[in-house]
Structure 1
Amino acid sequence: MFGFFKRHLNKHSLLITDATIDDLSQLRDVSIATFKETYIDYIKTKSDSEIEAELEDIYNLEKLKEWIMNTNHHCLVVRTKSQPQKIVGYSLMVLETPQAKLSKIYLLRAYQGKGLGQVLLEANYDCLRANPEIESLSLEVWEKNQAAKKFYKRMGFRETGDKTVYSGSDPHNPFYDEVLVRDKVSFTITNS
């Protein structure tokens, strides 16, 4: 990872490490907390029991274990140096060719706005640079998540289309995601 990003992690007393099986419970906690903070408008359209069932479906421990054990997945966690066992965020990337997919960058609210999303993105780029057969990185972002869309565009991603995603078991309540892509040749951070 570039020196700037190492200094940034040191400044905030954080570490980035590969996720392990021991991290499953905390990954689930961070996932649920971040989901509830990010998708407030969506959550308002559902009952508490529907949301709890959906979260259990998406973030059950078996699925999280699959994320970590699958050799085509790259799951990184952000930890505090003062409590190295405490996870405050993570990213999940699916290593497919020719286009990898950034599935998630989740940070607890207290750690957002500190440049850590950019640092996690750079850590994922390090992995991509080591894989010559991967040509680009794609991601999907909820159309209503303006902060995330702005962040990814600032990081050099460009919009390439839209995708309808049905979350949970309700086929009548779709999410509309924008699909963004960044080519491998541009896997350096932009400052625009």
Structure 2
Amino acid sequence: MKIPICPIAACRGKFYFYSTHEELGVLEFCPGPVFSSIAIDDSFESEDEDDDQGGYEEEGGPNPGEQVFLVESGGDLYMVNLLYATWSSDQIVEGFVQRMDFSTRRWGDVGDLGGRTFLLSRFYFGASCSGGEGGGLQQDCVYLVNPRRKEMQVFNVKEDTNEVHSLDEAPPCDKAFWLLPSTTSP
């Protein structure tokens, strides 16, 4: 049976892909492809025992839909979780970012992106670039375009805010892609 490997991100010379909350898949080329996995410690420590965490069922309500993106930034592996109003909705109600601590095999919440900006595509792709340097991108923010709704959502990780921007002037399309400048000089 063929199973697509997504989301996926290259980090520290390996490809990592999201399997479940308990496992992170690993693909290495040594020189041929070698698959393995990392067991994730998904136990959650919270000062507030009633905190809702990443798509887990809320008291009295259904479990919202969740979409996961993996992003490499500065040699670290990040996971961006987007929570939808319902499984069949494309309305995002919350987003949060975690960084993998490979020594403890745990995802940990982050309060900023180190001044970086994450750009997400609905097709399980995430990229990181410098924020605040021209182009109008804000630091410590996650951007996601929803072409069907003609909207762009901006999650500010540092300030814990979520803004929706109308893209009414955008041409009709069913896909949105980010084009990033090369960091190498010609």
User: Could you state the TM-score of these two structures normalised by the residue count of structure 2?
Assistant: 0.36
More helix by share: 1
Query: Over alpha carbons, which structure has the higher Rg?
Result: 2
Q: Which has the bigger relative contact order, CA under 8 A and spacing at least 6?
A: 1
More strand by share: 2
